[in-house]
Amino acid sequence: MVIIKCLLISQKKKWINNNISILLITVFLLTGIMAPAHAQSNLMAIITKEPGTVYLDNTRITKYVNSGIMDGWVKKVVTDKERKAKLQSIKKAKKASKKEKAKAKEIKELYKKMSYQYIHIQFDSKNSRYKALESYYYDKDSQLISRDTNSSDWGAVPVDSTEAQIMKNMTDYIQNNIEYVTMK
């Protein structure tokens, strides 16, 4: 009787161990193979004139079905070259009002400290226009140094511009990954 009980207990342990192994393999396959298709990185590089400086956050894209508006977030990394160009363009702006000079000084100080920014942007691809809803500016230590939450007006998407590339990438992402996009 004791031998039969020992055999039953041994068989039960094998069955449990086999099922646990199958469960662990299944979890590994689902998280190790399936998940990275979407979760490898939430930032997709956008090819622009200055490669590698603009990224689309593919976890924060919304498509408004009725209006066709696409809403998302973009990370823009400021390179030393871009920083110098921006500071140089501010320096060249000699004929400006006091208000414009004050704004230029504010932008100059921001660009001296800024490492990257997150921009909440919307595109109306039917009418080829866009607007920035808000921007958050960060230093090299990822500390928030400034924010602009004033929504801009709709503006035309310039041909061959960074905005045109962002709109194209966002459109392509929505078409190819509809299951990961928030639809409203």
pLDDT digits (tens, 9 = 90+) for 45-90: 887 776 668 999 999 999 999 999 999 999 999 888 888 887 887 7
Give the model's pLDDT for residue 29.
44
Q: Which CATH superfamily is domain 41-78+114-183 in?
A: Surface-adhesin protein E (2.40.128.710)
How far CA 153 is from CA of 53, 77, 146, in Å, comes to 24, 24, 21
pLDDT attached to residue 40: 40
Adjacent-strand bridge partners of 132: 121
The pLDDT assigned to 132 comes to 95
Residue type for 107, please? I
* Residue 107 binned pLDDT confidence (cut-offs 50, 70, 90): confident
Neighbours of 59 (CB within 10 A): 15
Band of residue 30 on the pLDDT scale cut at 50, 70, 90: very low
Question: Greater confidence, 105 or 35?
Answer: 105
What contacts 38, CB < 8 A, 6 or more positions away? 58, 177, 180
Percent of the chain exceeding pLDDT 70 equals 73
H/E element holding 122? strand 116-124
pLDDT of residue 94: 62
User: Which sign does the torsion angle of CA 135, 56, 47, 174 carry?
Assistant: negative
pLDDT higher than 80, residue 140? yes
Q: How many CA atoms lie within 13 A of 127 on its CB side?
A: 13
Comparison of pLDDT for 26 and 113, the residue scoring more: 113
Ordered by start, the domain boundaries in the chain are 1-39, 41-78+114-183
